[in-house]
A and B are shown apart, each in its own frame.
Chain A
Amino acid sequence: MSRPGFVLEVDDKTPPLLTMAGSDLRLERFGQGTRVVYPADAESSTAPVGLIDAALTAPTGSAPLAGRLAADTRLTIAVIDTDRPMPRAELEIRRTLVEQVLETAARAGVDDVEIVIATGLRQQWNAARVTEVLGDRVATSFLPDGLVTSHDVTAPDLVTIGEAGGLPIKLNRRVATSDLVVVVSNRADAGTRCPLSWGLTDVETVRRLGGPDASAAVEDEIEAVVRDAVDTYALVAVLGQPLLGRSLRFASKREWEWTLGDRLAFAGARQIVAAMPRQGAQYLHGSLRADYAVVDVLGGDFTQIHADSLAVWLAANAVEISGQSDVLVTPVWGAAIDEGDPVGSPLSAAHHALVTSAGAHVGKPVVRDGGVLIAFHPLRRRFSNRRQSAAADFFATVLPSTTDPAEIAATYEARAIDDEWYLDLYRKQFAEHPLRVFHEWYATARAAERFSDVIWVGGDRRSAALLGHRAATTYADALEIASNTVGQHPGITVLHGPGQAVGDVR
């Protein structure tokens, strides 16, 4: 059992606290009275097989998996990849989950088994990725026969399973025609999205789910249709906070508990990035892996497990905060926003700050309506040519003309999702679907409406202006800008650490 998270009130004995901005690490001195939210302690993972066995043999709201399998069952394992923990997990719990399901299926004599990766709008998996995540055993057993496929939201063979709001909903063919779909996923955040509707349907359905006029009612309606069409068995691993590798282990600790070794490791990490801004950052933060403790593994009825896993994750990770504040401060660490990029793009940084960090809370938001968000990130215009081609064009051509989601959806969205170049990159070059950047922007813009100002400390001024935000050179400057709207003595809350600090505001 890890040490739970807590809220620290900064006093005169508080040492400078670690903040992250892209690949830069620094120790920032916060004003007295500032509340700093520390998530639960990160712990190393332990063998999850016992938990998985329990989830398979004693499920919630369903018969045990073995009892639902027969020799003639058409079985599909849907591996959810719409949401994944960042930095990537060192121990892929999904591999162990899939292996245990396959063991059970083998004992039941099931012949017809396929694995579908529910990627939604994210990159499809190549063979290397399948091997890396699902392991050699699964790869050698299923890849040669083409039995591992990534879902393609634009595939022509999707099956219509019903209607919602008068429009058809199409689902992955293999999933729609299966007798049983075992949905394998891990939960590392407080997201409430239905992984089946977001990960395995067609582009038009996903477009409605994440468009500027998306509503919970539409999402519920689509989710109900998908759920009714497929017989499912859910298997969810609930994860704790990321425990970083030895070179960055200090970031997973509390500053006043740093040993001399931690302090020297911090000095070394800073020097590596400062001496070689590109290569050093790539070396330290580019392909980082973290260890996640498996808090619990839940199995059984899909709807119930989806809700239960959220409750378990919140119980293990949420931190009780008393009352809302005027200013929310959040670091944006490159390794936690863009895979393979140590700094991260400005669009991903904005999405992370506004949606992932500030938008994740239990009940009331951490900051009041009309408050100010201060985020740390350089906002340098960096996009991967292959993976983020659509995002680069969105930043270069769409944002300079408008930031309004409705206008963007009406003018640019349809053109982008029919663009042959983007679609070719999506289908053949393992890039993200072009619709993804639009959806991220809609969510970012919606989240920004709550704030009177969003200020980027150390951010590129043009990038900040394009996003409709402001930039400040230092944290003190940012507070001075914020004082125009929240006054001279605002209540300030800082979200701390490389993991996700979710506030439970009471």
Chain B
Amino acid sequence: MTTSTPTAASSSTASRWERFRDSYLLYSFKRDPIAQVSLAVFILLVAMALLAPWLAPMNPYDLAQIDILASELPPFWVDGSDPAYLMGTDAQGRDLLSTILYGLRVSLIIGFGAVAMQATLGVCFGLLAGYLGGRVDAFLMRMADIQLSFSTLMVAIVVGALFKAIFGGATFSTYAVPLLVLIIGLAEWPQYARTVRASVLAEKGKEYVDAARVMGLSSRRIMFRHILPNTLSPIFVISTVQVANAIISEAALSFLGLGMPETQPSLGSLIKSGFDYIQSGSWWITLIPGLVLVVLVLVINLLGDWLRDVLNPRLYKG
């Protein structure tokens, strides 16, 4: 019998990098200026947040560096500004630029942390519900329905308020970041579970899953080794949306006073703290962090849109 060769043109086995270089992902990225700009801005923001301790002119957590006399100074392009404070200062005399950089860091940590939590819960429940079906499916999906019928903010407000009431404001401030991750993560897992379940149902009907069952593989191995890798594209796409959502949720909670305390401000709590001074003319304390938040969420969503278009096979496979 003659040995047949694969249809691909190149004779040697393509490396991972070559695969990526030839992929549709890179191709469409190169042709989409919006995606390029969004990714650049996103990387810039993340880098600035990560490097905040080195980039920021001052440390807003260090009370020794705060000069209460220098409070509410305007940014550099407005009359009466101090060149030491590029973006001006807030009501407590903290350098606004430094505070924004640190705040961005907190927002991103909470955003990504919450999404990691949602994804872990949602993927596990979604896989179980989709693959096992029947009663497990019915139970988990009803749970998800119940969870979704409470809005994220309502859950967060109740849990946050209870926590504050029981353990006191000081403990709350100490554990604010993990607590917010937990609250937002728990509130939004059904989004993941539903997406994963839907794609598991689609994948489960394919013959490679039957082949794995015929082989005698355990359900766990089929779920994680065979089905999960094939549901990554939709997970990836909703992750971008969910990161943006989580950041906004955190900002909203902080704005309501249930999020990050003012001593370790996130973007949301900065906006809130500045909100009180809008009337007195110090618009920059709210507006500048607000703009940063808008830009951050916007670029994440734009990247998500692009990714969804690329990973949606119907749009290019025909």
Indicate, yes or no, whether A interacts with B. no
